[in-house]
Amino acid sequence: MARNVVIVGAQWGDEGKGKIVDILMESADIVVRFQGGNNAGHTVIVGEEKFVFHLIPSGILHAGKKCIIGDGVVVDPEVLIKEIDVLKARGIFRPEDLLISNNAHLIMPYHKRLDAARERLRGENKIGTTGRGIGPAYEDKVGRCGIKCGDLLNEETFRFKLKNNLVEKNHYIQTILHEEGFAVHELYHTYTSYAEVISRHIMDTSKFLSDAIAAKKKILFEGAQGTLLDVDHGTYPFVTSSNTVAGQAATGSGVGPSRIDKVIGITKAYCTRVGEGPFPTELSGAEADWLREHGGEYGATTGRPRRCGWFDAVALRYAARINGLDGLVVTKLDVLDKLDKIKVCTKYKYNGKTIEDFPTDGGTLARCEPVYEELPGWNSQTQGITSFEKLPKKAQAYLKRLEELSGVKVEIVSVGAKRNDVIILKDPFK
């Protein structure tokens, strides 16, 4: 039996991880977010209510389940507090269920200003960041001048680090970017007011998780974004600023890798991408518009329309290898219900040759042409179906073909946006 399960996006993000985390929390005791920041958006629909999470794991909807913001996350306290307030107003938030790692780094206002100004300077060469300061916050972490959540617990330490940082940040912001700088006292008072709200949640979450593992608790490790946006293994430079792959679950939560029992990859039944960068199976015109509208493909965090395309099995095979996937979750199968024909990319053509491995070099990938296999559509509704055997035969065949192409078994299928629109072939925890 698997006790510690990692969930990762197997595409470019937006695969529906929030809903799957919400479902699996029925079996788990603890959920840990292990990377990224509020550039993530996880949407869960329960009954007629819609919840959008950016920092707090969606497991917070389950009373008594501990929700941890891990070491590898960068935290914007303003966003976090707003998220808490929304949950409080809806009668959901329980303070004892939220824990924040003292080692998680803070996003500061100067990070956001740097992020937005740099994107403007890049012009046509922009990366397509969300402008939320994620990248600059990780830069400071690696540059050893970041400020941690734990620093909020000591006002003297916080003020010292803030003052030192602003000497350099203000010089760069004002001299190079020609933007307005920041006053130490203003940021100090703002962030100490945030500390009054969130300090009760800040602790050594690595130790908490170690004790939970010893007590044989079931832990779900929740990733944000997707494999192909990983800063080391994605389509660099059009990636996020953190490691999104399964290996980060250990690093970003302070749990030894030998404690991970199972890795599950989440993929849509087609492909989407937000922001800039190569996307071999991208569609344009009426086909792209149809998928976008029927799939509701607009960012939960930014509202940006997502780029849409056919399923890319080359990319999924790569994600399976990089993450060591033990199982697959296929979401949004129902979006394809009305199509007569469905295409799946099985390989690429590059410089006149056929290749079956995914090139992470952006220039190479941009010149790859998809080689498609055409499968028949099922032209009937899948939403509301709760067992694999009751799916249309052609929908079953489509899922089996994805298994064959990826080498990974499908364990869960999502056939709608709501919590109960799901087919569970195998619970990863059982």
- Residue 403 in tokens: 């298994």
The reported pLDDT for the residue numbered 300 is 65
The reported pLDDT for the residue numbered 116 is 85
Helix ranges restricted to H, 128-179 = 134-142, 155-171
**Rounded-to-integer distance, Cα 421 and Cα 404, Å:** 25
The active-site residue, picked from 22, 42, 54, 62, is 42
Tokens 């007569």, located at residue:
340
The reported pLDDT for the residue numbered 187 is 97
The reported pLDDT for the residue numbered 301 is 63
The reported pLDDT for the residue numbered 404 is 98
The reported pLDDT for the residue numbered 246 is 98
**Rounded-to-integer distance, Cα 10 and Cα 226, Å:** 6
Tokens 């937000």, located at residue:
274
The reported pLDDT for the residue numbered 278 is 96
Contact 39, 130 (CB under 8 A): yes
Question: pLDDT averaged over consecutive 10-residue blocks of the chain (430 residues)?
Answer: 93 92 93 92 76 87 94 97 93 94 98 87 70 93 97 97 96 91 96 97 98 97 96 94 97 97 98 93 95 88 86 98 98 97 97 94 94 97 96 98 98 93 93
Is 14 considered catalytic here? yes
Instruction: Count Cα atoms within 13 angstroms, Cβ side, for 174.
Output: 10
Residue range 241-263, pLDDT digits in tens: 999 999 999 999 999 999 999 99
> What would the DSSP string read from start to end of 344-388?
EEEEEEETTEEE-S----HHHHHT-EEEEEEEE---S--TT--SG
The reported pLDDT for the residue numbered 332 is 97
